[in-house]
Each structure stands twice: as C-alpha cells, then as structure tokens.
Amino acid sequence: MAEGSSDKVAYFQAITGLDDPDLCAEILSAHNWDLELAVSSFTSSSNPPPPPTSTIAAAAATTTTSTAAAADPAPPGLAWKLVTLPFYVVSGGVGLVTGAVGLGAWMAGAVLSRSLNLLGLALPRPGAGDSDRLIALSASAAEAADFVAAFERDFAAGDGAPAPRFVAEGFMDALQRSQREYKLLFVYLHSPDHPDVPAFCAGSLCSPVVAAFVNENFVAWGGSIRRTEGFKMSNSLKASRFPFCAVVMASTNQRIALLQQIEGPKSPEEMLTILQRVVEEHSPSLIAARLEAEERRNNQRLREEQDAAYRAALEADQARERQRREEQERLEREAAEAERKRKEEEEALARAAHEAAEKEAAIARRRQEKAMALGAEPEKGPDVTQVLIRFPTGERKERRFHSSATISSLYDYVDSLDCLQAEKYSLVSNFPRVSYGPEKHSLTLKEAGLHPQASLFVEAES
C-alpha cells in the first residue's frame, strides 16, 4: 500500500474508530480514496433518538467510572479516542486534506456527532428528520456571537459593567488572534444546566479584578456545551466538572498546549491567583516570541531596505553603464561618420585627379592629333600667309600657312599649343574687329582677307 494511502487509512481508523485496516481500505477505495467523502458517507447514517442534554455529562461520567473500575479494561470508546487526537483533527479548523477548502466545512463536527450516536449520546438538533451534515465554517463564528450576546445579557449588569471580553469568532480564529497578539487564550465552557454556573459567572468571571485581569492578559473565548463547537471543545479539553475554564496556547504541528484547567466553582481570589501564576510562568515565552517576531520583522525590513538600496545602486550602475555605452556608441557613430566622409573626400579627390589626368591626357592626345593634322610648316612664298597669334597671357606664337588653308586650320594650330587652358575661345582681329567664329571656319585665309599676313588674338569665352 502506498505511503499516502496508509496515512489515509490511519486517519480513517482514528476518526471512525474502526479497528480493521482492511475494511477501512475497502471503504476508502470504494470512495476513490477521497478521505472526506468516505468519512462523510460513514457519518451520514440515521441517528438513534438523542437523550436530554442534561444527561450527557452524567452518561459520560458513568462510562468513565465503569471503564476505570473494570478488572480487564475494555478498549477506550470512540469519543475518548477523538478527544485524545491531535487538535487539528478534533477542531477541523485546518481540514484533513488540502482539497477540503472547497467544501468550506469542518469534518470534526460530523465525526463527533457520529461518535456520540455510537454511544447513544447525540445532542438535540432542529429538524428531527435531517441527516448529519458537515458544519459550515461560518457557523462557529455565529455560535460565538450568540454566546457573547447571551453571556452579556445574563451576567453583565449593564453598560460598562466588568465582564470578560469574549471574542465573537470561532475557536481557531481566537487561537490565531492570541498568537498575533502574543497572549494566552482563556477558554470558558458554559454549562447552562449546572447549578454552580450562574454564581460563578456573576461572582467570579464578572468580578472587576478577574475581568480586568483576563481582558488585560488574555484573549478570551467562550462557548456553550449545548452548541456544536462548545461541545467539541469540552471533549478536546476533557472537561469533566463545571464551571470549566482553561488556559491554552498554540503549539507546534497545529496542536494546542493545555496550560491550566480550572474546574468547579472558584472565588475571584482563587481565579486571580491561578491566572496570575499561569501568566507569570508563561510570560517569558510570550515575550521571547514577541521579541523574536520583532527581530524577524526588523531583519525583514533591514533586508528589504538593503535589497532596495542594492536595487537602487544596481539601477544607478546600469544607468551609468547604459549612458557609457550610449556615449561610446555615439562616439563610434561620429568616428564612423567622419571616416566615411574622409573616404568619400579621398574618393572624390581621387576621382577628380583621375578625371583631370584623363582630361589632360585627352588634351595632350588632341594637341598631338591637331599638330599631326597641320602637317609641316610651309616655306615662305607668295601663296604662304604669315599668321601671328596672341594669347591672353601675353604670349605670342607665329606660323606660316598656305593661303588656301581654312580658318579651322588656325584653330587646330592654337589647339596644338600648350598656351591656352580655355576650352572655348574665338580668334578675333582688331582692325577691323572681326570674330572668326564657327560660321567662318570653312573660309580659306585668302577668302577671309588674312593673306598675306594676319594678326589675331585669342578671346576666351565663358
């Protein structure tokens, strides 16, 4: 059997009182190993008619006495087994399995009811035909509120009269409240039918000294044993005599520690003496717990402050690192942009130089071609024209041409020289001023009136 299944069988045995583990396993298996469903099914059978409430304590006392007097004592009854279980099983405040949250109920109420039915000690309930039901979690707070209202009505003399301030909430909530406030939990179980109870409540619990001491040093919770949770607590605390008071505190593993039982009628002085002693004995542990909790809170706050400071420093470092990276990226971008521009400028200069070289080479080739097209300079003769060319720089060049040569030959001659940088120019005569533009390039020198000699100057065009 798996470990989880064994635990469920053990729980089921403890709750139901069945001794046969195989039978328990079969019941759980039939309910798909759902512990709450199996227990609910087990406790949902019809109950025998309950005896009057006043006979409960007498029946329990008779059962206990007869058990103790037997020579061969029989196994303890189911109710006694239940009250000796860990408190979280009896109270049902935590639940038996983690899936119990959705049910919103205390299993222990049905368990105790079933136990009492087995003993013939069932408590009266409204609706004789109703079947056993799980008690809703809010019912405990309603019972506590009813008890507080009834107690104040019956035993508090009026507004401002001394009385313990019982909390109007369930026992588990009151226990948790005492933990939060670092106080002990004062428990009072009220038995309305007991003859000593009214005098005890009015004379002792509501005496100024006892009420003030309880209110100052304890969280007070009370319940009637006629109601479900009060009856459960009377079994849990094994109350055998009334009036009944107890002082408890939370223990480990969701149990409660019973520090003091106060049974039977007590005078205010006796009550105060007992309660003072309990407080003196256990105050050091409460003070230590409070100091430990404060130290934990201080340490937690210190860790949070350190974490906040660390996060702030980390964020500042990250911001500085981010700013440094952004600055570095900006510088890198600027350097890359400067390098790109430099390369572009170098490439532009290289292109310009290349273009200039190509242009120079082209000019040189053209000069050479023009010079070769002119041919050799003719000797002086009657058909030879002497031409003088003046450049804007003041330089002069002179050459002979056949009178039958065209004006374009003069342009070829100028182009063959290394004296002019302008690409566009015109040859012009001064007296009279005549420009020999493209429309006259086909005229011979004689036709143009330049024979036997002519003086022309180069006029650059924009």
Domains of the chain: 3-70+96-127 (no CATH), 137-299 (3.40.30.10), 384-460 (3.10.20.90)
Confidence of residue 270 (pLDDT cuts 50, 70, 90): very high
Q: Please state whether beta strands 384-390 and 453-460 pair in parallel, antiparallel, or not at all (unpaired).
A: parallel
Residue 23 confidence (pLDDT) above 50:
yes
pLDDT score for 136:
46
pLDDT score for 202:
92
pLDDT score for 394:
87
% the chain with pLDDT above 90: 45
Q: Which of 16-20, 34-38, 172-176 has the lowest mean pLDDT?
A: 16-20
User: In angstroms, rounded to a whole number, what is the distance separating the alpha carbons of residues 56 and 58?
Assistant: 5
Average pLDDT over residues 276-294: 89
Average pLDDT over residues 268-280: 95
Average pLDDT over residues 369-379: 86
pLDDT score for 160:
63
Residue 167 corresponds to which tokens in the numbers above?
A: 């909390």
Residue 2 confidence (pLDDT) above 70:
no
Q: Please state whether beta strands 184-190 and 384-390 pair in parallel, antiparallel, or not at all (unpaired).
A: unpaired
pLDDT score for 125:
41
Which of 123-137, 151-165, 361-375, 380-394 is predicted most confidently? 380-394
Contact 132, 103 (CB under 8 A): no
pLDDT score for 44:
54
pLDDT score for 328:
94
More confident call, 314 vs 3:
314
Residue 116 confidence (pLDDT) above 50:
no
User: In angstroms, rounded to a whole number, what is the distance separating the alpha carbons of residues 223 and 171?
Assistant: 9
Residue 67 confidence (pLDDT) above 70:
no
Question: pLDDT tens-digit profile of 125-176?
Answer: 433 333 333 344 468 899 999 999 999 999 876 666 689 999 999 999 999 9
User: What residues form DSSP beta bridges with 427?
Assistant: 436, 458
User: In angstroms, rounded to a whole number, what is the distance separating the alpha carbons of residues 460 and 452?
Assistant: 26
User: In angstroms, rounded to a whole number, what is the distance separating the alpha carbons of residues 73 and 52?
Assistant: 28
Place of tokens 């019972």: 143
Give Cβ neighbours of residue 441 (< 8 Å, ≥ 6 apart). Answer: 406, 407, 408, 411
Average pLDDT over residues 182-187: 95
Question: pLDDT tens-digit profile of 92-110?
Answer: 333 333 333 332 333 444 4
* 207-211 contacts at long range (C-beta below 8 A, 24 or more positions apart): 207/162, 207/268, 207/271, 208/162, 209/268, 209/272, 210/164, 210/268, 210/271, 210/272, 210/275, 211/162, 211/163, 211/164
Residue 366 to residues 360, 401, 415, Cα–Cα distance (Å): 10, 20, 8
pLDDT score for 191:
92
Q: Name the average pLDDT for the chain.
A: 78
Give Cβ neighbours of residue 141 (< 8 Å, ≥ 6 apart). Answer: 168, 169, 170, 173
Task: Count helices and strands (H / E) in the chain.
Answer: 14, 11
- Angle (CA) 237 243 244, round 5°: 20
Contact 132, 110 (CB under 8 A): yes
Concatenating the DSSP letter of every residue in 14-61 gives HHH----HHHHHHHHHHTTT-HHHHHHHHTTSPPPPPPPGGGHHHHHH
Q: What is the SS3 assignment for 92?
A: coil
Q: Which of 34-43, 247-256, 324-333 has the lowest mean pLDDT?
A: 34-43
Average pLDDT over residues 349-364: 88
Average pLDDT over residues 341-367: 89
Residue 3 confidence (pLDDT) above 80:
no
